[in-house]
Amino acid sequence: MSSGLVLATVTAATASAAPSPTFNRDVAPIFYRRCISCHRQGEAAPMALVTYQDARPWARAVKARVASRQMPPWLADPTFSRELANNPSLTGQEIDTIVAWVDAGAPQGDGTAPPPPAFTEGWHNFKNRPPDVILEMPMPFEVPAEGALPVFTIWSPNPFKEDQFIEAVELRPGAIGAVHHSDVTARALPAGTTLGRGRAWKGGPLVDFVPMYPDGRSYNELSGDAASAGGESAADAKARRTALQTEAFRTGDDYRLLFYVPGGGFQEFPPGAVKRISAGNALAWNVHYTPTGKPETDRHRLGLWLARTPPTHEVVTKRIGEAHIIEGREFVAEHEGEELPTIPALAGDWKITAMTPLQEDVTLYGLWPHMHLRGKDMTFIATFPDGREEVLLHVPKYDFYWQLQYQFAEPLHLPAGSTIKAIGHYDNSAGNKYNPRPEEPVAWSEQSWDEMFNGWMELSVDRQVITRQSVYSFATPVNSRVSLGIGSGPPGTVSVRNPDGSLVRSASIGAAPSFIEPWTFARGQTIQTERSGAESGNVTVTLFDVPPDVTSATTIGGPGVTIKAEQPGQNGIVTFGGTRDQRVVVLVTANTIGAVTINVVSSDQTVLASIASAAASFTLPAVTLPSTGTHAVIVDPSAASIGTIQVSVTASGR
């Protein structure tokens, strides 16, 4: 009786066991959804997974990679990140199916696999049409059969004579198997350079289309590494490090069009959101090749789908980092003469935090962490005006060889007053197998043997609306004064006019941005754009609602006062009392505005002293007060600059 009961139990269990997964029925659909954008003939992956004959020899390797979540490559931690649109990760059920298939001997199964998806050879079919414009890298590059090549950049002249707005973009390498990653950015050439023939990288081959300095140096060869300095003086070495640091830590808008990695390299933008190629910028092709065992020739191509619906907002790539916290100290990288600390030799967990306060409402579309070979992790956190915090993206195991962009499933609105920060760690120890020289401190530059800390965000400013109208009106501001920021564009003029057509203010449009100082708003005023030649194009204008000038008072010898300019065009006035023939000196410190003009004026508005500077601190010449009464220090930020500054007045001997 007992034996029969046991037999019945075993029989029931056997009857209810699920059949083993097969390639044709269970695994092929997963591969087709998740894998074969890369794992097919002619793409970057080392083997195809389209047919059973393709996949069977790699079954155990596939199991190991998917079970450990190494494939598909995706480094964001979903527990601490917003929902991301381009996440290719396998679900738990998909992983279990692949593991069970391999454990069962990787059977093909009965019947036939479903047909694989059809892929367009060449370009994606965005917007149901081929690209409107195809641009090529300016020269082919010969990739050697063997060896390690650093990341380097080739630049090309811009073929466009006016700004172009892009609603979709795709980057296609010529030698797909030899390209690990690449990107294209529309940006200005490094200051003081012109395109010429020089080294592709330090010790690399001579190539054309490299930024060259007048003394014959190639920008691509420069490094923050002291060993690259040769016999330069200490002053020249500091100047070189400062220039490279400034480039590595610049926070101005970066007009990166697209980043290519295997399985990626294409992007569409939400309706109305566009990328822009400004006519005044060059194109920078940044590439990282991995030799395949045979010589190959690569020439990237960039496909552009020009906007056919009215563009409303420009998507720019901006680096987080108006300020940095390093080892408990605050640093502002763009301040004159301020160098960020290098990463110490052998440091295994060196921390840096970058912060950017948002002065305006923005829409955030995605994030991209960028470090070099010692990068360990990066986390992005938004702090809202009410103090609430949200982790937007957490990449716990950064990998220089899988640099991924992360696109939000839904764009995120961040109101003015929010702060976004990026927190990262570096491993400069001997335990980091990718570290080329753990025994040395690491400087900052764009070269891969140095380091960078770039938490990039893709965003648009909500009120910066692109317009192609020649005349337009604007809403009534909260305050009585307004100012106008004018982007670069073809030669022309922006005019502010009263309802009767009389001119209020005007400024030029050109290769560099310009600014119209505040004026008193009147209902019915309009803004008019007019070109001055045959060249046409687009210009972005930004209207600023300017609060009253900031006022404060101090005494001679008293504590300094802080002036905060919150909107472009807002000045500051610091008053102080003094007696006739008294000599005083005005000191300026803690300048985060940048370029600013400081005037000392008497009670009758006579200018007694004046200085223009972007330094963090400076002193005006001593002045003799012409009369007894109230005098003033006028703080006038340059163009659209904003920020804080501290002013103090002290007595001066003769």
pLDDT tens for residues 493-535?
898 988 767 789 999 998 889 999 999 998 888 888 877 665 6
Strands 572-578 and 550-553, sheet pairing: parallel
Query: How high is the pLDDT of residue 444?
Result: 84
Q: Residue 242 has what pLDDT?
A: 66
Residue-level pLDDT at 4: 40
Residue 112 lies in a domain: no
Whole-number percent of the chain with pLDDT over 90: 52
Rounded-to-integer distance, Cα 43 and Cα 41, Å = 6
Average pLDDT, integer, range 226-233? 50
Give which of 350, 354, 352, 344 is closest to 326, Cα–Cα: 352
Position 287 pLDDT exceeds 70: yes
pLDDT at 228: 45
Checking if the pLDDT of 371 tops 50, the result is yes
Average pLDDT of the segment spanning 449-473: 79
Which stretch, 145-149, 171-175, 231-235, 560-564, has highest mean pLDDT?
560-564
- Does the pLDDT of residue 581 top 70, yes or no? yes
DSSP-derived letter for residue 475 is: P
Residues 160 and 295 in one domain: yes
Mean pLDDT, range 251-257, rounded to an integer: 67
Q: pTM here?
A: 0.63
Q: Which domain holds residue 515?
A: 471-546
Last residue of a domain, one of 506, 526, 546: 546
- Using DSSP, state whether 28 is helix, strand or coil: helix
498 and 403 assigned to the same domain: no
Q: What is the CB neighbour count within 10 angstroms for residue 612?
A: 12
Is residue 5 scored above 50 in pLDDT?
Answer: no
The stretch 246-270 carries a mean pLDDT of: 72
- Supply 48's token pair: 């195809």
For residues 597 and 636, the answer to whether their CB atoms sit within 8 Å is: yes
Same structural domain, 442 and 498? no
Beta carbons of 478 and 545 less than 8 angstroms apart = yes
Round to whole Å and give the CA distance between 239 and 614: 17
Q: What pLDDT does 16 receive?
A: 47
Residue 405 to residue 241: CA distance in whole angstroms? 29
- Check residue 288 and give its pLDDT: 84
- What value does the mean pLDDT of the chain take? 86
| Range name among 93-107, 220-234, 260-274, 301-315 with the lowest pLDDT average | 220-234
Residues 151, 201 within the same domain: yes
Domain assignment of residue 110, yes or no: no
Question: Which of the two residues, 52 and 43, has the higher pLDDT score?
Answer: 52
**pLDDT at 134 (0 to 100):** 93
d(CA 295, CA 278): 36
**Distance (Å, whole) CA 371 – CA 430:** 18
In angstroms, the Cα distances linking 495 to 377, 418, 444, 506, 641 are 49, 33, 43, 4, 21
* DSSP-derived secondary structure letter, 137: -
CA 625, CA 642: separation in Å to the nearest integer?
30
Q: Is residue 117 part of a domain?
A: no
Q: 38 in a domain, yes or no?
A: yes
Does 327 lie in the same domain as 207? yes
In this model, does residue 173 exceed pLDDT 50? Answer: yes
Report the interhelical angle of 59-67 vs 92-103 (nearest 10°): 150
Locate 544 and state its tokens: 């600023």
Q: What is the pLDDT of residue 355?
A: 95
CA 428 to chain centre: 24
What count of residues does the chain have? 654
332's CB contacts (< 8 A; 6+ apart) are 322, 323, 324, 338, 592, 616
At 11 the pLDDT is 36
Average pLDDT rounded to a whole number, residues 31-59:
87
User: Which one has a higher pLDDT value, 445 or 113?
Assistant: 113
Residue 10 DSSP SS3: helix
Is the predicted pLDDT of residue 264 greater than 70, yes or no? no
Q: What is the mean pLDDT of residues 271-292?
A: 87
Q: Classify residue 4: in a domain, yes or no.
A: no
Amino acid 295: pLDDT: 95
Please report the pLDDT score of residue 179 as a whole number: 85
From 430, 461, 492, the end of a domain falls on: 461
Q: Is the pLDDT of residue 231 over 90?
A: no
Whether 121 is covered by a domain: the verdict is: no
Q: Look at the block and give the residue holding tokens 């980043």.
A: 259
Judge whether 618 lies within some domain: yes
Query: Distance between CA atoms of 623 and 229, rounded to whole angstroms?
Result: 45
Considering the domain boundaries, does residue 115 fall inside one? no
Residues 647 and 526 in one domain: no
**Selection from 504, 44, 520 nearest residue 261 by Cα:** 44
Average pLDDT over residues 283-306: 91
Residue 557 falls in which region: left (phi positive, over 0), alpha (psi -120 to 50) or beta: left
Does the pLDDT value for residue 20 go beyond 80? yes
Same domain for 394 and 531, yes or no, is no
Torsion of CA 175, 181, 185, 190, to 10 degrees: -100
In this structure, the answer to whether residues 568 and 521 fall within a common structural domain is no
Same structural domain, 478 and 623: no
Rounded Cα–Cα distance for residues 239 and 336 (Å) = 11
Distance CA 217, CA 213 (A): 5
Q: What is the mean pLDDT of residues 114-128?
A: 72
Specify the pLDDT at position 10.
Answer: 38
Residue burial 67-96, b: 16+ Cβ < 10 Å; e: rest: eeeebbbbbbeeebbbebebebbbeeebbe
Task: Identify whether residues 250 and 237 lie together within a single domain.
Answer: yes
Radius of gyration of the chain (CA): 30
Question: What pLDDT does residue 9 have?
Answer: 37
Strand partners, 198: 207
Q: Is the pLDDT of residue 121 over 90?
A: no
Same domain for 50 and 132?
no
How far, in Å, CA of 563 to CA of 546, rounded? 15
Average pLDDT on 244-252 reads 64
Domain count, the chain: 4
Top mean-pLDDT range of 97-106, 288-297, 497-506: 97-106
Do 322 and 404 lie in one domain? The reply is yes
What backbone torsions phi and psi does residue 360 show, to the nearest 5 degrees? -140, 160
User: For residue 271, what pLDDT is reported?
Assistant: 80
Q: Is the pLDDT of residue 469 over 90?
A: no
